[in-house]
Structure 1
Amino acid sequence: MRYPFWRIGVFLAACVAPVWWVYQAWLFALGPDPGKTLVDLFGLGTLVLLLITLAMTPLQKLSGWPGWIAVRRQLGLWCFAYVVLHLSAYAVFILGLDWSQLGVELAKRPYIIVGSLAFLCLLALAVTSNRYSQRRLGVRWKKLHRLVYVVVGLGLLHMFWIVRADLKEWAIYAVIGVVLLSLRIPSIARRIPRLKRSKSPVVTKA
């Protein structure tokens, strides 16, 4: 069975951004503090991928194409990969791998605790994203994966705490997040129209 081309496309698209950012940092093209910029870019990339992942279910209902759900799972794993890059960059460029500074950072910047909670939730989702966990957990699997809504809230709060001096960009992501979460409300979700047209019945002459 051939690997679907769209899976390869998602993989390549998700790889391009971090490779390009690291390359730019290597050339010192990300400003005077490329390490800090990398931390921010990986964090923002995580949030963007998370919002795109949330958009997959409404797109599936809108188009009727089941492939969106497979894309959702793949993007969810990429969200986790990006947040690992975010934390790794933070450990290297902000802490300098000096873990004794972590306590000081937590006291000065409580938003790190919010980000850590979001990471733990994404970790739980990534570990249980396979079919074995889905069969093993049964109905509890869907309840567990509703943590994605919590992650969106924590991610937006984390970003708000960081960029509160300039909320224009944050407001865009917050509005998108609110809209996507609203589309999960059953009464709203049922009203999402389908673009996929059913075949017209063949009219035969008597």
Structure 2
Amino acid sequence: MAQTGAAKRFDWPLLVWRAAAWALGGVPLLLLGWHVLHAQLGPNPVEFLEHDAGDWSLRLLLATLAMTPLRRLTGRPEPLRVRRLLGLWAFFWVCLHFAIYLTFDLEWSPSALAADVVKRTYITIGFAAWLALVPLAITSTQGWQRRLKRRWATLHKLVYAAAVLGVLHYIWLVKADLREPLLYAGILAVLLGMRIPWRGILRGRPLPRRTT
């Protein structure tokens, strides 16, 4: 009977959602490591690494933003409970993308980074996106949430700016074949649009406060 009670208390749906979040962030990392170990990075290894890390940065950032609409659509609490994990995975991939660029393109030269940020627009935008995510990762814990109180939700709205800047960084970088970055832009537009209380606007009601 005790085991049955423990099984009932165990949150299987949350376990599944957490496993999915870990898989979404971790499996691509394992695959990337496999490509590196087996020297399967194509004719331009640095470009392959940067592109792969950048793609997963955006995918995980969009997945993070999708959790609030999923919560409202499904009525389930699990999406919000894995949102922080997905956000940290997104930040990890952004940092990996940035580290690859710093290591192989700039050899960790601060002056070269400063020159790129000033002269190359897509680097400026990408660097701004990374800067927007840094305070979100630092303050992602419950301790910081309690410390900042209402300011925490305001601060974490920077995730919207980071996502927009990330998509713009990709569009500005590619320039030629825009299909993939425009797909991300479309997904982002839908996710942001789902946060707008259209019924209230059409009926002239005041906008309610929403969490990220």
How high is the TM-score relative to the length of structure 1?
A: 0.84
- Alpha-carbon contact 1:25-1:35 (below 8 Å) kept: no
Alignment match, 2:5: none
Aligned residues: 190
8 Å Cα contact 2:129-2:162 kept in structure 1? yes
Kindly state the Cα deviation for residue 108 of structure 1 after the two structures are TM-superposed.
Answer: 4.7
Q: 1:5 aligns with which of 15, 18, 22?
A: 15
Report how far residue 188 of structure 1 moved.
Answer: 5.8
Counterpart contact for 2:126–2:165, Cα < 8 Å? yes
CA RMSD of aligned residues (A): 2.1
One-letter identity of the residue aligned with 1:39: E
1:56–1:72 contact (8 Å) kept in structure 2: yes
Runs of 4+ that moved beyond 6 A: none
Conserved? CA contact 1:51–1:177, under 8 Å: yes
Q: For residues 19 and 65 of structure 2, what CA distance do their matches in structure 1 show?
A: 20
Percent sequence identity is 42
CA distance in 2, matches of 1:91, 1:14: 22
Find the counterpart in structure 1 of residue 50 from structure 2: 39
Residue in structure 1 matched with residue 131 of structure 2 by the alignment: 120
Higher RCO (Cα < 8 Å, 6 or more apart): 1
Structure 1 segments unaligned to the other structure (5+ residues): 191-206
Q: Deviations over 1:129-170 (max 9, x none)?
A: 111111111111111111111111100110011111111111
**What residue number does 1:68 align with?**
79
Query: Where in structure 2 are there 5+ consecutive unaligned residues?
Result: 1-8, 202-212
The aligned residue for residue 70 of structure 2 is 59
Deviation at 1:117, TM superposition (A): 1.0
- Supply the distance in 1 between the matched residues of 2:96 and 2:63 (Cα, whole angstroms): 18
Q: Hey, which of these two has a bigger chunk of helix by percent?
A: 2
Check conservation: 1:183, 1:189, Cα contact below 8 A: no
- Kept in 2, the 8 Å contact 1:125–1:144? The answer is yes
